[in-house]
Amino acid sequence: MVGKALEALFIKVWVIVKLNLFFLLFSCCGLLVAGIGPALKTVNELFISHEFNYKEITLKEGWNSFKQNFIRGNMLFYGTVLLLAVLAYNLFLSVQIQGLVFLMIDFLLVFAMIYAVVTFQYTLLLDSYYEIGLNNLLKLAFISTLANFTNLLKIAIGLCVILFITWKFKGLILFGTFSMMQIWSFTATKSWRQTIDQRLELHA
């Protein structure tokens, strides 16, 4: 019993490490600037396809997925980066001004940034899970983030915890941070994706 539990734990840890190393490798293949977005999308697709079946997660499949996701992954990633940059700049300006109204604006801007990050996670997951056009993907991700506030909190808190642990243990950047963020988002949204599947079956 203990042996099986340890084996299952080891397999999960190995998948996390393996996917994280794939992310770093593919990001470097895109010279970081053009590699991060498609690398994140590739990690999502590999985990969605195989979950913790580590033998099925191969470099060849990952590389093919990275090439296919290159344009779309960069569009999603840099669209989010641009939005976050605009929100962060407005937050920077807003905190310079005192007053209750501007304090409320500060909180709204912070929430908007959190919402943007969570929506980005949804776009990666949904785009890897369904065959869907870009416009419909963005609409579905936007609706998904609004539809279940609990999931939004779960993803946001989970990402913050992972980043906090990474800040304490910098080595996780190499061996776990990025893959754990994607796996956590996948796990946190499982019930919502099942709901989408059920609704799609009703309209099929």
- Tens of pLDDT, residue by residue over 2-21, are 678 888 899 999 999 999 99
pLDDT value for 84: 97
- Tens of pLDDT, residue by residue over 30-55, are 999 999 999 999 999 999 999 999 99
**Which structure tokens are listed for 122?**
């949804």
Burial class (CB within 10 angstroms; exposed 0-12, middle 13-18, buried 19+) of 47: buried
DSSP string, 146-163: HH-HHHHHHHHHHHHHHH
- Tens of pLDDT, residue by residue over 185-197, are 999 998 888 888 8
Q: Return the residue matching tokens 């996948």.
A: 186
pLDDT value for 42: 96
pLDDT value for 16: 96
Give whole-number Cα distances, 12 to 7, 53, 61, 125, in Å: 9, 9, 19, 19
Burial class (CB within 10 angstroms; exposed 0-12, middle 13-18, buried 19+) of 130: middle
- Alpha carbon 162 to its chain's center: 12
Domain residue spans of the chain:
2-203
User: Averaged over 167-179, what is the pLDDT?
Assistant: 93
Per the prediction, the chain carries an average pLDDT of 91
